[in-house]
Amino acid sequence: MSFVFDPAPTPSLAIAGADARFPVRRIFCVGRNYAAHAREMGKDPDREPPFFFTKPADAVVDCGQSLPFPSMTENLHFEAELVVCLGRGGKDIAEDQARSHIWGYAAGNDLTRRDLQAEAKKMGRPWDMAKGFDQSAVIGPVHKAEDSDPFETGVITLSVNGEERQRGDLSEMIWTVPEVISILSGYVALHAGDLIMTGTPAGVGALQPGDTCVVTIEGLPDMGFSYDG
């Protein structure tokens, strides 16, 4: 097959302890999957089923870098998240089979232009420019899944310039990882290389040029990056 110009390179993530990389196909995100965060966003977590939005695959960027501060925002927010990396796909995946589709896990940051999101909500418009901008999914090295580490519990934190800003536990998710995979696969066929960002605890807040942001999740490599000052 020939193309009129060379196709873009495949987005990918580093793998902990390996030279090979994890190819990224799509990025799905779960909205308001921690009760405390849902409440701080003015929603009732007891009444809402999970909802999903996406980021483009090329929004992904490795951690450990100094990045340019995003344009077109006066209120850029951090969101610490567990990222699930699928090694095989399927449609209508049963909840009790969902973990067999997971290749690994990583710590990530679902960066959000909150002012653009608020305006989109007010106008009843899509969130694409608030959530899917360049370098909006900073994700750490992928840790290969093991039966001994299903990541159902574990402390998740985020710090800015050494000051803790978010703290939660994976057990506080409203919808568990298997439930999320099963429900999402009812909407779309999932495939190897798909990422699922599983939601963020309470405490989201703003980042500024020059800030250093670090996400930690028990059992996973830390994920840190800085913004150019």
138-149 residue pLDDT tens: 999 999 998 778
The answer to whether residue 179 is domain-embedded is yes
pTM of the model: 0.95
CATH code for the domain of 208: 3.90.850.10
150-191 residue pLDDT tens: 899 999 999 999 999 999 999 999 999 999 999 999 999 999
The answer to whether residue 173 is domain-embedded is yes
Q: Provide the domain limits for residue 56.
A: 12-227
Total domain count for the chain?
Answer: 1
The answer to whether residue 22 is domain-embedded is yes
Question: String of b and e for 7-24 (b: at least 16 CB within 10 Å)?
Answer: eeeebbbbbeeeeeebeb
The answer to whether residue 4 is domain-embedded is no
The answer to whether residue 66 is domain-embedded is yes
Mean pLDDT for the stretch of residues 16-44: 85
